[in-house]
Amino acid sequence: MKIRATTILAVRHRGQVAIAGDGQVSFGNTVMKHQARKIRRLFNDQVITGFAGATADAFTLYDKLEQKLEQYKGNLLRSAVELAKEWRTDKYLRRLEAMLIAVDANHSLLLSGSGDVIEADKGVLAIGSGGPYAQAAALALIAHSDLDAEAICREALAIAADICVFTNTSIIVETI
């Protein structure tokens, strides 16, 4: 599933994990909003999530993930796997058009409606139309700078915003 119209980036680096998202909301080729908040904390602020895709669908997934986190006592990996199973098999949920990145102190996960739960090899995950640009920039910054995870997210999203017309520089970053 290719989701356009946003950029979400998660970076795990030097004992810190950060998620960043831009603030642009696009409707087709028109910018409708510049400062949307696509990053959200769940489960007593222990899990940070970011979404790309349809907003209403993403909020449905946030609610489902939070229910799973409550059910599995904050175990993000187990909650994500159970959500992915339900997302893939439930007739209603299968129609949702969104992707999520969820991180906690131990895991960085990408969740998709096709049943994927992916943990990054190098601690970097990205989704949305600007995701590939932000991911490439983050990997380069990790290899060639002394920046922490939060600063890498900010710089990488700024680079993505310079390239992707569906990404802006109104960047929100949350860290654990």
Is residue 27 scored above 90 in pLDDT?
A: no
Average pLDDT in the 100-125 region?
92
* Domains of the chain listed by start with CATH number: 8-175 (3.60.20.10)
Q: What is the pLDDT of residues 113-139, one digit of tens each?
A: 778 899 988 999 999 999 999 999 999
- Verify whether residue 7 is a known catalytic residue: no
Does the pTM of the predicted model rise above 0.75?
A: yes
Range 16-53 burial, b when 16+ CB lie within 10 A, else e: ebbbbbbbbbbeeeeeeeeebebbbebbeeebbbbbbb
Of the candidates 6, 7, 49, 167, the residue annotated as catalytic is: 6
Average pLDDT in the 56-67 region?
90
Return the pLDDT at 13. Answer: 97
Distance CA 125, CA 5 (A): 17
